[in-house]
């Protein structure tokens, strides 16, 4: 289908983009890669009168690695994440997760900022960013503020971002540990039936720290504090993985849809979470 008519804006800086958002209010929306928003407009599930394209705002494409501090601009595409050797070295889970998003065509256009700002429970980056304990920078009329990824998601398509704010960057710290992003999907290019991001550090033969988050198993991504607590101090053996997986499953609330009934999703989630923990530990 063809979307309803809209006016297209292409500001050169963030101030101009924020000004357009203020001027047009509810009738405006920012456009990043367009691979979630344009399909919604074509299906007439979203009618936007003013599209504010962020692609000419150069600093939104920055990637900076300063020691253990990572900064990723909102308009960095998933393909750029995958192709960035510095990021692959310090935070290889980004490449592992991004490679499981859709297909190369979508990844050439889809941005990290669009993926995390969208609020779709099926998006893979929000859970990943919760596992990494990332912080999102939001620019608004009163300046910048920061919101932790773990506090950002309120319900499906509802986030802590106000309508007059633009997500400009994501930052997080890397740790020398193991990681895994595991995803089960029906076919290439599909959203997750269940996915899990796990980051683990070790102290000798024991788990020193753990972070576990899940995708498409509730209305929001789910970061499971109790699953992580169940692993810390253990040798990450089969019993510990089973206890942590059970704790993670207690935190999710999947819906029945065309990817399967609730019981099936819980079953798949259990396998995905266990595999992600075991693989992260094997790399820690």
Chain residues in the site for ligand FAD (CB under 6 A): 29-37, 39, 54, 74, 101-102, 106, 109-111, 113-115, 117-118, 123-125, 166-167, 189, 191
Which structure tokens are listed for 67? 């020691």
Closest approach of Cβ 11 to ligand FAD, in Å? 13
Nearer to ligand FAD, 16 or 232 (CB): 16
Nearer to ligand FAD, 34 or 270 (CB): 34
42 within 8 A of 1, measured Cβ to Cβ:
yes
Closest approach of Cβ 144 to ligand FAD, in Å? 13
| Residue 51: HSE in the Cβ half-sphere, 13 Å Cα cutoff | 18
274 within 8 A of 245, measured Cβ to Cβ:
yes
Nearer to ligand FAD, 54 or 70 (CB): 54
Containing 216, the helix (H) or strand (E) segment is: none
Rg (CA), the chain: 19
Nearer to ligand FAD, 194 or 207 (CB): 194
Closest approach of Cβ 54 to ligand FAD, in Å? 6
| Closest C-alpha to 124, from 81, 73, 163, 69 | 81
Closest approach of Cβ 192 to ligand FAD, in Å? 6
Nearer to ligand FAD, 3 or 34 (CB): 34
123 within 8 A of 107, measured Cβ to Cβ:
no
201 within 8 A of 176, measured Cβ to Cβ:
yes
Spatial distance between the Cα atoms of 232 and 210, rounded to a whole number of angstroms: 7
Closest approach of Cβ 283 to ligand FAD, in Å? 23
């Amino acid at each position: 289908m063809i979307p309803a008519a809209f006016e297209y804006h292409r500001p050169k800086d963030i101030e101009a983009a924020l000004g357009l958002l203020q001027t047009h209010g509810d009738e405006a929306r920012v456009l990043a890669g367009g691979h979630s928003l344009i399909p919604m407009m074509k299906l007439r599930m979203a009618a936007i009168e003013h599209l504010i394209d962020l692609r000419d705002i150069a600093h939104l494409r920055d990637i900076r690695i300063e020691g253990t501090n990572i900064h990723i601009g909102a308009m960095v595409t998933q393909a750029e994440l995958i192709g960035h050797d510095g990021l692959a070295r310090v935070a290889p889970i980004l490449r592992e997760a991004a490679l499981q998003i859709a297909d190369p065509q979508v990844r050439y256009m889809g941005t990290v900022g669009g993926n995390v700002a969208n609020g779709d429970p099926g998006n893979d980056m929000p859970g990943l960013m919760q596992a990494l304990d990332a912080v999102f920078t939001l620019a608004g009329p009163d300046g910048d503020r920061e919101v932790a990824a773990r506090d950002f998601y309120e319900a499906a398509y509802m986030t802590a971002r106000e309508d007059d704010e633009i997500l400009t960057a994501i930052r997080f710290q890397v740790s020398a540990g193991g990681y895994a992003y595991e995803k089960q999907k029906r076919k290439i290019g599909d959203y997750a039936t269940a996915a899990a991001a796990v980051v683990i550090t070790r102290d000798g033969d024991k788990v020193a720290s753990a972070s576990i988050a899940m995708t498409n198993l509730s209305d929001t991504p789910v970061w499971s504090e109790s699953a992580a607590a169940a692993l810390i101090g253990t040798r990450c053996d089969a019993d510990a993985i089973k206890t942590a997986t059970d704790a993670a499953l207690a935190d999710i609330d999947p819906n029945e849809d065309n990817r399967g009934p609730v019981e099936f999703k819980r079953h798949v989630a259990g396998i995905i979470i266990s595999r992600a923990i075991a693989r992260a530990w094997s790399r820690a």
